[in-house]
Amino acid sequence: MPVSAPSNARNALVVDDTPEQAELVELLLQRLGYAVVTVNTAEAAIVAYAALEPQIAIVDLLLPGIDGWALVTAMKRDVPGCLLLVTSVLELDEYPVVDGVLPKPFSAAQLAAELDRMFAA
């Protein structure tokens, strides 16, 4: 896994209703130098991103209540400077148009590489 931590800590928002997956992504991001807030619903994410102003959000599409597609739409409107990385077990053609995609399951190296690609763009 690349250890290219951001030069300045970046705020990251992780939205995943599977506790193990959310904890894993949070840990990986922290190891890369990100300040991380993790929530398990889109409703909680909306509250969090208003206060956090994240530079990146990692959003699972299959969420209870408001789904990931609606959350991505809201984030594009409300925090347009935030990069959006979508994760899911769904087929890629079902993903919304975002800055990055990471089909599940993914490795720490794949996450780090996708983040490097997104922030280099």
- Name the domain count of the chain: 1
User: Domain for residue 91, yes or no?
Assistant: yes
User: Domain for residue 4, yes or no?
Assistant: no
Q: Which neighbouring-strand residues pair with 110?
A: none
Range of the domain at 94: 11-116
Task: Please list, in sequence order, all residues whose beta carbon lies within 8 angstroms of the beta carbon of residue 87, skipping any fewer than 6 positions away.
Answer: 16, 25, 58, 59, 60, 61, 101, 102, 103, 104, 106
User: Domain for residue 1, yes or no?
Assistant: no
Amino acid at 52: L
Taking the C-alpha atoms of 4, 32, 22 and 51 in order, what is their torsion angle to the nearest 10 degrees? -110
pLDDT in tens, the chain (121 residues): 333 344 467 999 999 999 999 999 999 999 999 999 999 999 999 999 999 989 999 999 999 999 999 999 999 999 999 999 999 999 999 999 999 999 999 999 999 999 999 999 8
pTM for this predicted structure: 0.91
pLDDT at 6: 42
pLDDT at 62: 95
User: Domain for residue 45, yes or no?
Assistant: yes
User: Domain for residue 99, yes or no?
Assistant: yes
| CATH number of the domain residue 43 falls in | 3.40.50.2300
Q: Which neighbouring-strand residues pair with 28?
A: none
User: Domain for residue 6, yes or no?
Assistant: no
User: Domain for residue 26, yes or no?
Assistant: yes
Upper half-sphere CA count for residue 83 (Cβ side, 13 Å)? 17
Whether residue 58 contacts residue 34, with contact meaning beta carbons closer than 8 Å, is answered with no
User: Domain for residue 56, yes or no?
Assistant: yes
pLDDT at 9: 76
